[in-house]
């Protein structure tokens, strides 16, 4: 959902000196990306289901242990495992938004039942939104729901960007336990809820359209389930069925999942475009791969998200094929190819790059 309004800080002279990314498309790279990965396009249902179910089982098992134990020595490691496993399970929303559902029958329903509804982040909050981020004429513009020129904004916007994510569990509880049922009775409120509070977007100017036809029916069913679950959570805490301590720990864990995702979002792009339409190659260069041998991205950028730049070249490629696609393209393309320019070593360097950019332009 729209989370915050951030204002640009760079003076006119500094903005003029900032990168505009008017980069022509590299035909050789685009051709190689298409030709070398044709045999990798089919999703493998066994991998999807096994990965999702194992992640959910480990995540919820560790979550229950963390909120129910009286031992801090047990709670902390259990909580860490819960956050990482649930974050991985939640990250499948990205795959759900891209997949052809006929290739993975029932996966969207299964994901919503296991993860989307329990964590109050159903798939409709990303489907119909994320695809706009991949539209060639929208990426990096004011019409992109998932883009802000963070590298060109004031330094304080970066910690605020993370802080807002920490409050996401509160926003989601209010959205589903209060606003959703109330909006059924108040039509003008319903429009606001759909337009402004039903999308996982970081662009505060984004307004989503109301769903129609089968999409509307599916949306309503999933939203009812999420609303009922949110009301049950609130009622359980108010009546004492769920101890306040357990709720507080659970809230902290879900908040940590949201923060982890927000940190990953912070380094998914370089965020250096100021609204101009970009070529596919420019979009790729504004995006980030964190490939092996670095190991930690498997935890903070799971389910293929460590290959985010490659994903912008091949958005329909299933997550389990991205590693092989990267190996093929890295070997086939010459060292001077733009393909190699979007690979970075790790999280600290990427965060530092954006932070330095904001501080430099603020002077």
- Tell me, yes or no, whether 4 lies in a domain: no
- The number of residues in the chain equals 363
- Tell me, yes or no, whether 6 lies in a domain: no
- Tell me, yes or no, whether 36 lies in a domain: yes
Give the Cβ contact number of residue 304 at 10 Å.
20
- Tell me, yes or no, whether 352 lies in a domain: yes
- Tell me, yes or no, whether 185 lies in a domain: yes
What φ, ψ does residue 269 adopt, rounded to 5°? -135, 170
CB 164 within 8 A of CB 3: yes
Instruction: Please give the Cα distance from 288 to 195 (Å, whole number).
Output: 29
- Tell me, yes or no, whether 83 lies in a domain: yes
Number of domains in the chain: 1
CB 127 within 8 A of CB 214: no
Instruction: Please give the Cα distance from 96 to 319 (Å, whole number).
Output: 11
Q: Is 289 helix (H, G, I), strand (E, B) or coil?
A: strand
CB 287 within 8 A of CB 278: no
- Tell me, yes or no, whether 1 lies in a domain: no
Q: Which residues contact 218 (CB under 8 A, 6 or more apart)?
A: 124, 211
Q: Is 62 helix (H, G, I), strand (E, B) or coil?
A: helix
Residue by residue, what is the 3-state secondary structure of 222-270?
HHHHHHHHHHHHHHHHHCCCCCHHHHHHHHHHHHHHHHHHHHHHHCCEC
Find the domain containing 237 and state its range: 12-362
Q: Of 61, 129, 51, nearest to 90 (Cα)?
A: 51
Long-range contacts of 44-51 (CB under 8 A, 24+ apart): 44/318, 44/320, 45/103, 45/104, 45/107, 47/320, 48/92, 48/95, 48/104, 48/107, 48/318, 48/320, 49/107, 49/110, 51/88, 51/92, 51/303
Q: Is 307 helix (H, G, I), strand (E, B) or coil?
A: strand
pTM for this predicted structure: 0.92
Predicted confidence pLDDT, tens digits, the chain (363 residues):
433 333 333 333 333 334 445 789 999 999 999 999 999 999 999 999 999 999 999 999 999 999 999 999 999 999 999 999 999 999 999 999 999 999 999 999 999 999 999 999 999 999 999 999 999 899 999 999 999 999 999 999 999 999 999 999 999 999 999 999 999 999 999 999 999 999 999 999 999 999 999 999 999 999 999 999 999 999 999 999 999 999 999 999 999 999 999 999 999 999 999 889 999 999 999 999 999 999 999 999 999 999 999 999 999 999 999 999 999 999 999 999 999 999 999 999 999 999 999 998 766
- Tell me, yes or no, whether 224 lies in a domain: yes
Long-range contacts of 191-199 (CB under 8 A, 24+ apart): 196/1, 196/2, 197/1, 197/2, 197/171, 198/1, 198/124, 198/125, 199/1, 199/2, 199/125, 199/126, 199/129, 199/145
Residue-wise pLDDT for 156-167, tens only, equals: 999 999 999 999
């Amino acid at each position: 959902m729209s989370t915050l309004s951030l204002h640009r800080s760079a003076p006119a002279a500094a903005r003029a000196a900032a990168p505009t990314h008017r980069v022509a498309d590299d035909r050789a790279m685009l051709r190689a990306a298409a030709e070398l990965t044709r045999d990798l396009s089919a999703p493998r249902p066994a991998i999807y289901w096994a990965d999702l179910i194992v992640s959910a089982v480990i995540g919820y098992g560790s979550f229950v242990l963390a909120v129910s134990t009286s031992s801090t020595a047990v709670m902390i490691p259990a909580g860490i495992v819960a956050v990482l496993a649930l974050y991985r399970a939640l990250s499948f929303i990205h795959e759900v938004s891209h997949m052809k559902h006929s290739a993975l029958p029932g996966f969207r329903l299964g994901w919503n039942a296991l993860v989307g509804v329990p964590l109050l982040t159903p798939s409709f909050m990303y489907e119909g939104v994320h695809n706009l981020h991949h539209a060639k004429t929208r990426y990096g513009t004011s019409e992109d729901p998932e883009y802000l020129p963070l590298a060109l904004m004031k330094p304080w916007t970066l910690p605020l960007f993370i802080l807002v994510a920490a409050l996401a569990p509160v926003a989601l509880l209010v959205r589903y336990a209060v606003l959703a049922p109330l909006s059924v009775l108040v039509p003008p409120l319903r429009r606001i809820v759909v337009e402004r509070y039903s999308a996982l977007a970081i662009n505060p100017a984004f307004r989503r359209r109301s769903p129609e036809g089968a999409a509307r029916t599916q949306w309503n069913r999933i939203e009812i389930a999420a609303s009922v679950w949110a009301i049950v959570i609130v009622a359980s805490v108010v009546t004492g069925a769920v101890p306040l301590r357990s709720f507080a720990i659970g809230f902290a864990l879900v908040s940590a999942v949201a923060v982890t995702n927000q940190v990953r979002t912070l380094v998914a792009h370089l965020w250096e475009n100021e609204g101009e339409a970009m070529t596919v190659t420019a979009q790729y260069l504004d995006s980030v791969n964190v490939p092996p041998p670095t190991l930690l991205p498997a935890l903070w950028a799971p389910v293929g998200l460590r290959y985010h730049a490659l994903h912008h070249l091949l958005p329909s490629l299933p997550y389990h094929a991205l590693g092989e696609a990267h190996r093929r393209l890295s070997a086939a393309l010459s060292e001077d190819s733009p393909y190699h320019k979007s690979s970075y070593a790790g999280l600290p360097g990427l965060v530092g790059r954006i932070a330095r950019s904001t501080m430099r332009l603020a002077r």
